[in-house]
Each structure stands twice: as structure tokens, then as C-alpha cells.
Amino acid sequence: MNSLAPSPQSRDKLRTRTPMRCPICDGSLAKVMIRDIGGLTAGTTWQVHAGECPQHGWFQTEIVSRPPREIFAVTKPFGAARRVVVGGREHFSFSTVWNDLSGDERRKPTDPLEAKYWQVRPLSTPDS
């Protein structure tokens, strides 16, 4: 019985559709990879999305039935976090506008792939 241990490769799907864009230049990402992790509960959407900006490298985010709160810079798809410097400031992650919704709005059933929630906050706005 090998059904509980599928090879990691088989779970990675090459698709071109992700709402994620480069959080630095808002460019579309090449080499998009989406890994379905599967949910503990039926109906849970649990995915990791990764994609490469030709100029700014790899980015990744994870969704669990909700749009992502942050997009991370990574060294490679499903790899370690890396630091990027934008305008003299260091960033490891980029907050999305999903954070700006009220708790009530966030609790509503929402398509986790709704692109408007994947936009990153302007980098010029300090978030602390």
C-alpha cells in the first residue's frame, strides 16, 4: 500500500493560473507551481502557490480556504524564506489587503482565489 505516500513530485501541478503577482513590481509570475496539500476536512482548500518573477525571483504563499495574508520571498519553489531589499528596506514577506478587511468580512465564505484579496499593500506604507 503506497497510496498514503504519493511522491512529492506528483502533487505539484504546473498551471499558469494563480492570483499571485510579484509583490514588488506587480508583474505576472512565470513558472507558476501549485501544490495541493489537501485538507483535513472535506471541502478545505489548502494549497501552496509559488511563482517566479523574472526580475525579483521566487515568491510563495499558502492558502487554507481563505485568501493569503502574506506573500513570502523564497529561494526556490517550496524553499526557504529569503530577504529582499526594496527601497532600502528589507522584506521577508508582503502583507496582502486581506489583512485590511474587518473580522466579519473575513469570516464570510470567500473564494480563496479571489484576486482582489491577493494584492499586496503598498510597500511605502510602514505596517508598524
Q: Which residues of the chain form contacts with Zn ion (CB under 5 A)?
A: 22, 24-25, 27, 53, 55-56
* β 84-86/70-74 pair status: unpaired
A 10 A CB-CB count for 96 gives 23
Nearer to Zn ion, 22 or 74 (CB): 22
Q: Say how far apart CA 122 and CA 94 lie, in whole Å.
A: 9
The least distance separating Zn ion from the CB of residue 25, rounded to whole angstroms, comes to: 3
Q: Is 4 exposed, middle or buried (0-12, 13-18, 19+ CB in 10 A)?
A: exposed
Nearer to Zn ion, 55 or 125 (CB): 55
The least distance separating Zn ion from the CB of residue 56, rounded to whole angstroms, comes to: 4
The least distance separating Zn ion from the CB of residue 44, rounded to whole angstroms, comes to: 31
Nearer to Zn ion, 56 or 66 (CB): 56
